[in-house]
Amino acid sequence: MTLNVSPSLNSTQSREELLGDVLNELNITSSRDFQGALKRWHQGALSLVHLNVIMMLRARGPLTMTHLAELLDVSVASATGIVDRMEHKGVVVRRRNDDDRRVVEVQLTDAGDQIFSDMQADRQARLREMLSEISDDDLGALLQGLRAFRAARERIA
């Protein structure tokens, strides 16, 4: 079954009102997805901070403890506690930098990388299920809009 949820725009709706409606839809979807994902992701085995660290390390590669603390906006002592707990769970390891043995870097383990991969696969499956409910016409319009959105993001970035 596919639903056709064509926007019911009237000629009096301004661009600003349209932008507001789009932002509201994105925020509603994001909040619901985020709350559901938090409940599912490893049944609470990892905190939101731990998931944030995993995503940072996945995107940036190994980070020094100092840089990680800066990115998390916490003290190095707090970052050390976070990494201690994550290391105990086997999702990160600390390694001394080969060039400067005083520098400690944090990196993902295979288990930490697998958590990220599992989260991505779960998200893809949920998105596929939702998209299967959308008509071909609306799906084409969504794709066109998402491509325009990505192009605008790249121009601004």
Please answer whether residues 72 and 52 qualify as being in contact, where contact means their C-beta atoms are separated by less than 8 angstroms.
yes
Among 1.10.10.10, 2.60.40.10, 1.10.260.40, 3.40.50.720, what is the CATH number of 35-157?
A: 1.10.10.10
| Mean local confidence (pLDDT), 142-150 | 89
- How high is the pLDDT of residue 53? 94
Is residue 153 pLDDT above 50, yes or no?
yes
End-to-end CA distance of the chain: 39
Looking up tokens 């998931």 gives: 51
- How high is the pLDDT of residue 4? 44
CA 123 vs CA 66, 130, 144: distances in Å:
31, 11, 21
- How high is the pLDDT of residue 37? 65
- How high is the pLDDT of residue 81? 96
| Mean local confidence (pLDDT), 120-139 | 87
**pLDDT tens for residues 52-101?**
999 999 999 999 999 999 999 999 999 999 999 999 999 999 999 888 88
- How high is the pLDDT of residue 46? 81
> H-helix or E-strand containing 92?
strand 92-96
**Taking the complete model, does pTM exceed 0.75, yes or no?**
no
Is residue 3 pLDDT above 50, yes or no?
no
Is residue 155 pLDDT above 80, yes or no?
yes
Going by C-alpha positions, the residue among 112, 102, 57, 59 that lies closest to residue 79 is 57
Rounded Cα distance, 59 and 48, in Å: 16
- How high is the pLDDT of residue 19? 80
Q: Could you count the other beta carbons within 10 Å of the beta carbon of residue 139?
A: 14
**pLDDT tens for residues 7-33?**
555 557 788 888 888 777 777 766 566
